[in-house]
Amino acid sequence: MRKKELLKILEKMTVKEKIGLLSGKDGWNTKPVKRLGIPSIRMTDGPHGLRNQREGHDLGIGNSIPATCFPTASLLACSWDRELAEKQGRAIGEEALDQNVQIVLGPGNNIKRSPICGRNFEYFSEDPFLSGNIAAGLIEGIQSKGVGTSLKHFAANAQETDRLVINERISERALREIYLASYEIPVKKAKPTTLMCAYNKINGDYCSQSKWLLTDLLRKEWGFRGVVMSDWGAVDNRPQGVYAGLDLEMPSSDGMNDKEILKSYKGEKTVMKTVDDRFDGKLTEKQIDACAERMLNLILTLDGKRSGKKCDYDAHSELAAEIARECMVLLKNDGLLPLSEGMKIAVIGEMAERPRYQGSGSSQVNPHTVVKPLDEIKKYAQVTYAKGYSLDDDTDLSKIGEAVKAAEGKDAVVILAGLPDSYESEGFDRTHLNIPESHLELIRRVSEVNQKVAVVLCNGAPVVMPFLGQVCVVLEAYLSGQSGARAIAEILFGKANPSGKLAESFPCALEDNPSYLNFRGNGETVDFGEGIFVGYRYYEKKNMPVLFPFGHGLSYTTFTYSDPVVSEKKIGENDALTVRVKVKNTGSFDGKEIVQLYVKEASPRFLRPVKELKGFEKIDLKVGEEKTVEFRLDRRAFAYWDETEHRWRVDSGKFEILIGASSADIRVSEEVEVIAENPPKKLTIYSSFRDLRLHPNGAQATEEILKLMEKKESEIASDDEKDALLSLDWCILRNIVTMFGAKLPITKLQKMLDAVNKKS
């Protein structure tokens, strides 16, 4: 909406009415201003389908109006397909219109710091480039229908334990390169209508009242123009939230915080202590107006006029199957798959008749129908079914005998195993990576009597697989939505060629994970001690084996990569680089390949990951077909966050462009030299003599100092490593004065340095 019109409405509003816009009417709606014809808009969870609670079931879970349960984020990300995410988004948007919902509370795109975060099924990846791009696709899809989104939980909501209070200590570099980058991409590319702030604190400040996060970074630096709302109950000090740029408190605080804002505006004492030194506890009308104007814009843009349009839920159920089919990841196949139609098959595991298809918590959708793997597999084979374990009692081993009998003599066995509901959910974190002992024992005993076992895993996040050597096949189905069972059967019987790839590493053991020593913290604080080394960035740096690497996924066909070409061999840091590669389907199935591009700085001066994902494309190839895939890389593909200068920095040097089928399966590479134009670093008395000597304007000062020390240039550095310690070059300038007898006072040295700095 145009600013002029907004300001006109704002002018007519009383301060109280404006403050009223800054918190919900109840659990899911904003407050209307009837006098001025400002309607109320409705929001619901999110993210993989609608949870639109029926009247009278406001903040409970369950009792929501039926909607399509699409694959959860952890599976959707395995498509590595922005357009597919967009497609899912469009369908969710249509259901929102049908149900008169104006904002869908999603997507969630926190980085998967640890595989045991209870809410990982709602998040996409351990990599910000993948996560940010899939989130952007989903947002664009939902918003294309005129429905709003809420990108959540901003930022770094990386654990469920103590999520309402935990203070996350994260380095500036890890924030920028990993945790914030996951938001920066969709904020800039897809322009979500709203963001939802996280519950946690970052470096001492609650996200709900951090001016740095909500205004300086999000709005001023990234150019975000929308509304920031709180996660449900994330508000601590409401006036400070207004000062920081938190526009909407959700759900309603029953007027309590509206009063706080008013008191703060009137200069009266408020209940909560102010914690930001820059905020004196008093709000001006201008500050209230800034939030109210953004709220007005949101409400009047999404006013619900488009709502009421009916949608086709049956078609969406089909679409949910199609999406699941594109995402499931074939982790292992020693030739058993695809199975042949008409085979005699034992289907084992209670999940075959009680599928686990979504996670628990606020994202829980109430689907119209849920397809069962057992019914779907029966369409292709002669099936004998055995429960194998109990989903209600994971210690019950009594059902294994019957399953073993069912497995004997069959052409193949399909075991559905994984994590029961009670193992992972919003609200708590797992403590281990195991599936229930009863599932493990079942797999072990069944594989003793039948060598042709395929395990289908239904889980929201990585598990360890002590059974890997005992079985022929592992298909990672994740939590695949209401129609996911169709995709499972189609992949097992070759009706669909698997094409998903892991959006996260599967470690060999929880202890291997980089966050292991710090995860969860001490109730108040958690250190992100691994810094930028999250997921594959860590395993690769440590040269550590993993169970399955980031980007891994098998197909029934084979792909050959050839002829990588870079548009230039040498570029300036601000030039774009085009990279092309040919990929050919050389097997006997039509199939899709996810082509991954990683960038590696050949000889970085400072610590960097071995390589980082900077491009991906999913392509469809018929048997024998070849396509050229093109990537465009910009400055950011080569940059790292420089904590000393607080900016993205590229260093001159050689970079390898690595292209392959997974992070651990690089097929072809090319090299490019990047010439950076970094201004010389500002010199201080703590800079080394070498910094001064090599500084483009440092010649005169170098000469003067040498003269004062009665030294010659040839005496400065020694090639002999033994002398390096005594070499003047490595001395900081302060010590040249204090220890090595340069006869000049520190103040004079400082003046010399000021002159050098001034010239650059």
CA quadruple 166, 172, 174, 175: dihedral sign: positive
Tokens 């090595």 label which residue? 740
Closest CB to ligand BGC among residues 60, 342: 60
SS3 383: strand
Closest CB to ligand BGC among residues 27, 66: 27
CB of 348 to ligand BGC, least distance (A): 35
Cβ contacts of 305 within 8 Å, gap of 6 or more:
none
The catalytically annotated residue of 231, 258, 289, 429 is: 231
Of 540, 666, 541, the residue nearest 596 (C-alpha): 666
Q: Confirm if 174 and 126 have CB atoms less than 8 A apart.
A: no
CB of 199 to ligand BGC, least distance (A): 7
Closest CB to ligand BGC among residues 45, 205: 45
Cβ contacts of 748 within 8 Å, gap of 6 or more:
none
Residue 34 CB: number of other CB atoms within 10 A? 9
Q: Confirm if 61 and 364 have CB atoms less than 8 A apart.
A: yes
Task: Go through the chain and tell me how many residues it has.
Answer: 760
Decide if 421 is catalytic: no
E strand intervals along 459-590: 473-476, 525-527, 559-566, 570-572, 577-585
Closest CB to ligand BGC among residues 460, 660: 460
> Rounded CA gap, 595 and 324, in Å?
19
| Strand order from edge to edge, sheet including 570-572 | 570-572, 665-675, 653-662, 591-601, 612-621
CB of 438 to ligand BGC, least distance (A): 31
> Rounded CA gap, 200 and 218, in Å?
17
416: Cα separation from own chain's centroid: 28
Q: Confirm if 566 and 577 have CB atoms less than 8 A apart.
A: yes
CB of 105 to ligand BGC, least distance (A): 4
- The values of phi and psi at residue 196, to 5°, are -110, 125
Q: Are strands 201-202 and 205-206 parallel, antiparallel or unpaired?
A: antiparallel
Closest CB to ligand BGC among residues 164, 746: 164
CB of 130 to ligand BGC, least distance (A): 21
The angle that helices 313-327 and 484-492 make with each other, rounded to 10 degrees, is 40
Closest CB to ligand BGC among residues 152, 356: 152
Cβ contacts of 233 within 8 Å, gap of 6 or more:
164, 199, 251
Closest CB to ligand BGC among residues 123, 616: 123
Contacts by 511-519, CB closer than 8 A, 24 or more apart:
512/539, 512/544, 512/546, 513/114, 513/115, 513/538, 514/538, 515/113, 515/114, 516/114, 519/113, 519/114, 519/116, 519/159, 519/429
CB of 254 to ligand BGC, least distance (A): 17
Contacts with ligand BGC, residue ranges (CB under 6 A): 45-46, 105, 152, 231-232, 362
Closest CB to ligand BGC among residues 232, 389: 232
Residue 431 CB: number of other CB atoms within 10 A? 10
For the chain, report the end-to-end CA distance as a whole number of angstroms.
45
CB of 27 to ligand BGC, least distance (A): 8
Of 508, 513, 553, 552, the residue nearest 533 (C-alpha): 513
Closest CB to ligand BGC among residues 121, 389: 121
CB of 182 to ligand BGC, least distance (A): 16
Closest CB to ligand BGC among residues 81, 231: 231
Q: Residue with CB nearest ligand BGC? A: 362
CB of 250 to ligand BGC, least distance (A): 7
CB of 152 to ligand BGC, least distance (A): 5
Catalytic residue set: 231
